[in-house]
């Protein structure tokens, strides 16, 4: 087949509406067929329902660790957003390529796939591994089965490059995340007799207030890390629902909160502190009125933070590939923390900006795609240079 450019491939990828709630198998089949035309075999790691899959493929020596190029195939929804161009068709205007996922992060995947012919034709001293996952946007779920499988292989990977949009600046760190749901069951009664009921909303409000106290504590200067913005771990409540009518003491209330944690802070200590507060301070009062009341905390999702040393080998390598030592961090999370946790040195660097991610009229510039193509060509030179070690 005629060689496809990164723009050509991006147009194909955007046409697959791989919103996290839907299947990504059609896109994965396209990538798998594309790789097969160049003689590259791939393996799939499915979810339990077999409706989604992550893909892993190796180009070059299969008995060595080499470099992992990683990206997620899912995108966030467009529901309720006012797009001026089709969300799932590539539109070019004024040097920009519009469509859901162009920046986050099919642009990077397109550049990686466009480099496959050159990778196949090169005499690679170390292999390049392609790792494309599902369900990153809902908690970095799809990469985990793949990482569990890689952990069983006797390979020492040199680096994982996560191609999230950073405007091709080298990123060495991001915060971790813990998402939790709290369910409060009180006891209903007529509001005229409110003291004889257990108001679930009011007890939920006390729990949210406690989260505010914990957040204020973590914001103290002694817990700051100036590499991050904000420079401290944050806690926020994002959803709440409860109650049936104003004249009924609410029996139930539920709220979701999240912790965005610096890499050296265990976000689960927040949940443990809240659970202790509930058991020691709130539940005795609630059960003094009604014995079967309860407060339940449920983990929705979690992923670790990432921090890679500036003086590490992988930091020097990514600096040479993207021709920048402007090391930084990002506020959003990536799968990088999971790769790092698995013992694989990890950096983040990709085309586009997260300023456009998750928004209507998402785009990546043609210039950013071209620069990413060039970065991958420098990677090929590095992998074929006999002087590299």
240: domain CATH number is 3.30.70.360
Which tokens go with 94?
A: 């004024």
- Cis geometry, peptide bond prior to residue 149 (ω within 30 degrees of 0): no
Asked if residue 73 lies in contact with residue 23, where contact means CB atoms within 8 angstroms, the answer is no
| Averaged pLDDT, 134-140 | 94
Residue 368 has pLDDT above 80, yes or no: yes
**Same-domain check for residues 337 and 351:** yes
What is the separation, in whole angstroms, between the first and last Cα of the chain?
Answer: 35
Which tokens go with 364?
A: 């990546």
pLDDT at 361: 98
pLDDT at 386: 66
Question: Tokens 């499915």 correspond to what residue?
Answer: 46
Asked if residue 40 is part of any domain, the answer here is yes
CA atoms within 13 A on the CB side of 285: 12
Per-residue pLDDT tens over the stretch 60-116? 998 888 999 999 999 999 999 999 999 999 999 999 999 999 999 999 999 999 999
Residue 35 has pLDDT above 60, yes or no: yes
Separation CA 175–CA 229 (nearest Å) = 10
**Same-domain check for residues 181 and 136:** no
**Same-domain check for residues 15 and 122:** yes
pLDDT at 371: 98
Number of domains making up the chain? 2
CATH number of the domain bearing residue 130:
3.40.630.10
Task: Write down the pTM of the prediction.
Answer: 0.91
**Same-domain check for residues 167 and 226:** no
Asked if residue 197 is part of any domain, the answer here is yes
User: What's phi and psi for 277, nearest 5 deg?
Assistant: -60, -45
Asked if residue 374 is part of any domain, the answer here is yes
pLDDT at 65: 87
Asked if residue 321 lies in contact with residue 382, where contact means CB atoms within 8 angstroms, the answer is yes
Percentage of the chain exceeding pLDDT 90: 95
Per-residue pLDDT tens over the stretch 337-356? 999 999 999 999 999 999 99
Q: Which of 270, 303, 336 is the last residue of a domain?
A: 303
User: What's phi and psi for 291, nearest 5 deg?
Assistant: -70, -30
pLDDT at 385: 83
Q: Which of 275, 303, 331 is the last residue of a domain?
A: 303
| Averaged pLDDT, 26-49 | 97
**Same-domain check for residues 294 and 348:** no
Asked if residue 389 is part of any domain, the answer here is no
Residue 387 has pLDDT above 90, yes or no: no
- Cis geometry, peptide bond prior to residue 105 (ω within 30 degrees of 0): yes
Mean pLDDT, the chain, as a whole number? 96
Question: Tokens 């040199």 correspond to what residue?
Answer: 158
Residue 143 has pLDDT above 80, yes or no: yes
Which tokens go with 140?
A: 């970095």
| Averaged pLDDT, 216-222 | 98
Residue 1 has pLDDT above 90, yes or no: no
**Same-domain check for residues 311 and 252:** no
Asked if residue 74 lies in contact with residue 165, where contact means CB atoms within 8 angstroms, the answer is no
Band of the pLDDT at 388, cuts 50, 70, 90?
low
**Same-domain check for residues 12 and 114:** yes
Closest among 379, 364, 373, 349 to 107, alpha carbons compared: 364
Asked if residue 111 lies in contact with residue 380, where contact means CB atoms within 8 angstroms, the answer is no
**Same-domain check for residues 136 and 60:** yes
Q: Which of 288, 303, 318 is the last residue of a domain?
A: 303
Per-residue pLDDT tens over the stretch 184-198? 999 999 999 999 999
Asked if residue 272 is part of any domain, the answer here is yes
User: Residue 307 burial by CB count (10 A; 0-12/13-18/19+): exposed, middle or buried?
Assistant: buried
pLDDT at 64: 84
Asked if residue 70 lies in contact with residue 133, where contact means CB atoms within 8 angstroms, the answer is yes
| Averaged pLDDT, 294-299 | 98
User: What's phi and psi for 370, nearest 5 deg?
Assistant: -65, -40
**Same-domain check for residues 85 and 152:** yes
Residue 389 has pLDDT above 60, yes or no: no
**Same-domain check for residues 283 and 364:** no
Asked if residue 270 is part of any domain, the answer here is yes
**Same-domain check for residues 168 and 180:** no
User: What's phi and psi for 79, nearest 5 deg?
Assistant: -55, 130
Give how far Cα 351 sits from Cα of 164, 165, 358, 362, 369, Å.
7, 5, 15, 13, 6
Asked if residue 334 is part of any domain, the answer here is yes
Which residues are tagged catalytic?
A: 74, 136
Asked if residue 1 is part of any domain, the answer here is no
Separation CA 107–CA 352 (nearest Å) = 8
Question: Tokens 């550049």 correspond to what residue?
Answer: 111
**Domain membership of residue 263 as a residue range:** 176-303
Within 10 angstroms of residue 362's Cβ, the number of other Cβ atoms is 29
Separation CA 150–CA 375 (nearest Å) = 26
**Same-domain check for residues 101 and 122:** yes
Separation CA 201–CA 379 (nearest Å) = 56
Separation CA 64–CA 125 (nearest Å) = 9
Least confident residue range of 65-79, 116-130, 345-359, 373-387: 373-387
Within 10 angstroms of residue 33's Cβ, the number of other Cβ atoms is 10
E-state strands within the chain = 42-46, 53-59, 67-72, 91-93, 96-98, 128-133, 159-162, 171-174, 176-185, 234-242, 252-261, 294-303, 306-307, 328-330, 346-348, 363-365
């Amino acid at each position: 087949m005629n060689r496809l450019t990164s723009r050509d491939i991006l147009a194909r990828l955007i046409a697959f509406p791989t919103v996290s709630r839907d299947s990504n198998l059609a896109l994965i089949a396209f990538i798998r067929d594309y790789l097969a035309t160049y003689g590259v075999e791939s393996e799939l790691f499915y979810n339990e329902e077999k409706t989604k899959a992550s893909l892993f493929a190796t180009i070059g020596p299969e008995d060595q660790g080499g470099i992992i190029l990683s990206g997620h195939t899912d995108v966030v929804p467009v529901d309720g957003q006012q797009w001026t161009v089709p969300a799932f068709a590539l539109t070019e205007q004024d040097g920009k390529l519009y469509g859901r996922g162009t920046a986050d992060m099919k642009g990077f995947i397109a550049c990686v796939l466009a480099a496959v012919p050159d990778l196949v034709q090169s005499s690679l001293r170390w292999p390049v591994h392609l790792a494309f996952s599902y369900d990153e946007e809902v908690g970095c779920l799809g990469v985990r089965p793949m990482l569990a499988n890689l952990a069983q292989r006797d390979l020492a990977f040199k680096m994982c490059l996560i191609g999230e949009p950073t405007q091709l600046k080298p990123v060495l760190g991001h915060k971790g995340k813990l998402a939790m749901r709290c369910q409060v069951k009180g006891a209903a009664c007529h509001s005229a007799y409110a003291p004889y009921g257990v108001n679930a909303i009011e007890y939920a409000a006390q729990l949210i207030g406690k989260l505010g106290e914990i957040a204020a504590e973590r914001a103290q200067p002694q817990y700051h890390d100036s590499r991050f913005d904000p420079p401290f771990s944050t806690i926020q409540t994002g959803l709440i629902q409860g109650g049936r009518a104003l004249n009924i003491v609410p029996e139930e209330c539920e709220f979701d909160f999240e912790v965005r944690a610096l890499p050296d802070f265990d976000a689960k200590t927040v949940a443990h502190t809240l659970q202790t507060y509930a058991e020691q301070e709130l539940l005795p009062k609630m059960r003094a009125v009604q014995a079967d009341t309860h407060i339940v905390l449920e983990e929705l999702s979690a992923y670790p933070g990432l921090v890679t040393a500036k003086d590490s080998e992988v930091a020097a390598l990514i600096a040479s590939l993207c021709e920048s030592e402007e090391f930084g961090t990002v506020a959003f999370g990536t799968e990088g923390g999971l790769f790092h946790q698995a013992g694989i040195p990890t950096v983040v660097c990709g085309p586009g900006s997260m300023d456009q991610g998750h928004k209507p009229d998402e785009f990546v510039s043609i210039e950013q795609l071209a620069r990413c193509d060039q970065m991958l060509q420098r990677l090929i030179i590095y992998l074929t240079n006999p002087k590299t070690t």
